[in-house]
Amino acid sequence: MLLSVTNVILVYYLFSSISLCYSEKTLNLLENVSIPAVITFGDSYLDQGNNNYIDTIVKANFHPYGKDFVDGKPTGRFTDGKSLADFFGVSFASGGSGYDPITPTITSVIPLSSQLEMFKQYIGKLNKIVGKDATENILSKSVYLISASTNDFFISYSTVPVRRVQYDVPTYNKMLVQLAVNFVKEIHKLGARKIAVLSGPPVGCLPVQRTLSGGVLRKCVDNDNNAVQLFNDMLKQQLKFLESNLLQSRVAFVDFYNPLMRIIENPHQYGLEVTDKGCCGTGGIEVVFLCNKLSPTCHDDSKFLFWDSIHLSEKVCIIFVNQVLPDLVNSLF
């Protein structure tokens, strides 16, 4: 059991009739909005430790992960402290997962189909504890956040190019978008009415991708970024069309790409100094088991965009939430 149903109910009471909190501040935009819970699905950007309980190398429950978390404890979050999910809600996400079913097969993690089944189990348990009417109320008023495309591009299409020999970029993107739309439809059938989908990030600018494919100068890989941008354009269009066909529902496209590119291009504006390397080890290749207790870490991770060669530092998670949350609230409410 990855998440306690008690936690879901606790979140319901914590969020009901109060404003949404993140970092050390309260966002006043939600003073008049009741949010029973924020429930997340997808990959490592939203994984709060679910991979700790499965047999995979894609884990982060060891030092130096979590060095800035409570008591410096590694919990399975793929960062130095809090992850994006900590600022949003409870999570069914699994680091290394993706929309493409072959992605979690390669990484041996929890696919979206299983995350959906887990969610169904909790709906059943909520029904038994609070009753059908209360459960439907919780589900319809909760916010659902999905982030699941990064590993599809980085792993299945680029690093282990299983899909690249089968599909060109437009065809693969079309498949991913359809899978994303199908997942939104599935959680909508279960009662979700306020759904937000994160776009793909600039995969070509991940430190590990700069190292593997960015040449001697470790530049951002334009081909990867162009592929993600095409996916984002297609996803945004299809989600807008889907929303028009789902009655009494809001489906929001959350731009993950451009906020990160703004930080990469103007780091000092955000109090950052290093955007092309992670804090862990050399910063160019270390991620999951390669970022371990033997890896030296940077002196000040608050100056780094990335914690390891793929994942954001806690500071950047906070920056991202500050940037996108107002627009997300407006789009869903």
Active-site positions read: 44, 308, 311
| Measured distance CA(6)–CA(48) in Å, rounded | 16
Angle at 306 between CA 217 and CA 216, to 5 degrees: 10
- Separation of alpha carbons 251 and 241, rounded Å: 9
- C-alpha distances out from residue 13 to 75, 92, 175, Å: 24, 19, 38
User: What values do phi and psi take at 312, rounded to 5?
Assistant: -70, 150
CA distance 142 to 123: 13
Number of neighbours of residue 284 by Cβ within 10 angstroms: 16
Residue type (1 letter), 219: K
E strands present in 180-254: 194-198, 250-254
Reduced to 3 states (helix: H, G, I; strand: E, B; else coil), residue 108 is coil
